[in-house]
A and B are shown apart, each in its own frame.
Chain A
Amino acid sequence: MSKRSDARLWIAQRATAALLALCVTVHLVTIVYAVRGGLSAAEILGRTRGNVGWLAFYTVFVLAVAVHAPIGLRPVVTEWLGWRGRSREWAALALGVALAWMGMRAVLVLYA
């Protein structure tokens, strides 16, 4: 991987980290708020169904995770398992696609 790509991935990871700091905070506050009177599927769906705001928020959240986590796992698998080279990059890409797919599926189900 070129130095330019390395630098871009690092920037992407830092930028998504900043987004995630915000997203996780909003998410946790929402959880604490939502469970005050008990938690039910109907209550969650009542909040998210047809709500473009929550759709946008969790779309950003999921996509940030899908970018952030695979980039960060690359050095982890290199340092702990000695895994490097092209196969590592493909595995990271596959993880990113899987996270985005699973996450967006959940987001869309809660919206539609």
Chain B
Amino acid sequence: MTALQVDVWRGAAEGRLQRYDVPRFPSQTVLDVVTHIQRKLDPTLAYRYACRVGMCGSCAMTVNGVPRWTCRTHVDRVAKNGVLQLRPLRNLPVIRDLVTDMRSFFDKWERAGGHFEGASTKADDFARVAPDSAARQAADAGIECIGCGVCYSACDVVSWNPDYLGPAALNRAWTLVNDPRDKAGVTRLRAIAGDAGCHACHTHMSCTERCPKHISPTASIAGLKRAVTRAALDGKL
């Protein structure tokens, strides 16, 4: 059985990489590697996971420089020369080892108007949204986001401009802009416009490249830019 050399970030903002030798197994995921280290080699290692099957989004880490879901990343795909380097997600404060504080990430969802604001009551009939309508299709394209933070970690604009709302929050806002039941309208467009909002995006597409759900936040942000432009030209912004 060959061993995998795994360098793992230990500490918080200040820290160091620590080397562990982990046995290789068939179909081994990076999360399996981290779990092996924590259970067999070093119980002080802090990391986060829940579902292990790509549904919860809590196990995202930086694997050999790339943000990924560790539960859905096979070692065979990423371990160059049998070496793995594991760090916490970029652009988020590190609590300890591989665990980041995701409050700023989710606070930005709120700042982006990322919650549904309906106007109907339980006395009203169900809203009917045609599945093939352009708005529904646009919302569908972004709706599967599970908030893992991979796109946020991959985004250079977030690292340069810490106020930037980031791809996930803007993608969420775009799905709501396209929800005909939602009534936030121009209020949400005001929330997501400007230097810290959709206009800060440089269209590098790192978020789109890295999203494990194959969502394109870049396309969502472009949609927001168009919506804001229309509102500004109509004098509604």
A→B interface (CB under 8 Å): 1, 3-4, 6-8, 10-11, 74-75, 78-80, 84
Map CB proximity to A onto B140-183 as digits: 1 under 8 Å, 0 otherwise. Answer: 00000000000000000100110000000000000000000000
A-B contact pairs, 6 of them (CB 8 A): A1-B195, A6-B194, A7-B194, A7-B237, A11-B229, A79-B160
* Beyond A7-B199, A10-B229, A74-B195, 5 extra complex contacts between A and B, CB < 8 Å: A1-B195, A3-B197, A3-B237, A4-B237, A7-B237
Count residues of B near A (Cβ-Cβ below 8 Å): 17
Cα distance, A75 to B197, chains bound together (Å)? 12
Q: A7, B157: Cβ atoms under 8 Å?
A: no
Q: Which of A10, A80, A84 has the most CB of B within 10 A?
A: A10
Complex Cα distance, B180 from A94, in Å, reads: 44
- Distance A6 CA – B228 CA, assembled complex (angstroms): 10
Contact A75 B229 (CB under 8 A): no
Whether a CB of chain A sits under 8 angstroms from the CB of B225 is: yes
Q: Of A4, A6, A11, A80, which is in contact with the most chain B CB atoms at under 10 Å from its CB?
A: A6
Proximity bits, B193-237, A CB within 8 Å = 1, else 0? 111010110000000000000000000000001001101110001
- Contacting pair B232 A7 (CB below 8 A): yes
> Does B190 have its Cβ within 8 Å of any Cβ on chain A?
yes
Specify which chain B residues have a CB less than 8 angstroms from the CB of A78 in the assembled complex. 160-161, 195
**Which B residues fall within an 8 A CB radius of A?**
157, 160-161, 190, 193-195, 197, 199-200, 225, 228-229, 231-233, 237
Cross-chain contact B229 with A6 (CB below 8 angstroms)? no
A84 to B195, CA, bound (A): 10
With A1-B195, A3-B190, A78-B195: A8-B232 Cβ-Cβ less than 8 Å: yes
Pair count A-B, CB < 8 A:
42
CB of A19, distance to nearest CB on chain B (Å): 17
Q: Could you say which of A4, A8, A80 has the most chain B C-beta atoms within 10 Å of its C-beta?
A: A4
Q: For residue A99, give the distance in angstroms from its CB to the closest CB of chain B.
A: 22
Contact between chains at A11 and B232 (CB < 8 Å): yes
In the complex, the answer to whether A11 meets B233 with C-beta atoms within 8 Å is: yes
- How far is A4 from B190 in the complex, measured between Cα atoms in Å? 8
Contact (Cβ within 8 A) B161 A3? no
Tell me which residues across on chain A come within 8 A of B228, comparing CB atoms: 7, 10
A10 to B225, alpha carbons, bound, how many Å?
9
Tell me which residues across on chain A come within 8 A of B237, comparing CB atoms.
3-4, 7
Q: How far is the CB of A83 from chain B (nearest CB, A)?
A: 12
Q: Which residues of B contact A1 (CB under 8 A)?
A: 194-195
A3, A6, A74, A75: most-surrounded residue (chain B CB, <10 A):
A3
List the A side residues contacting B231 at CB < 8 Å: 7
A26 CB to nearest B CB, Å: 26
* Closest chain B residue, CB of each to CB of A80: B160
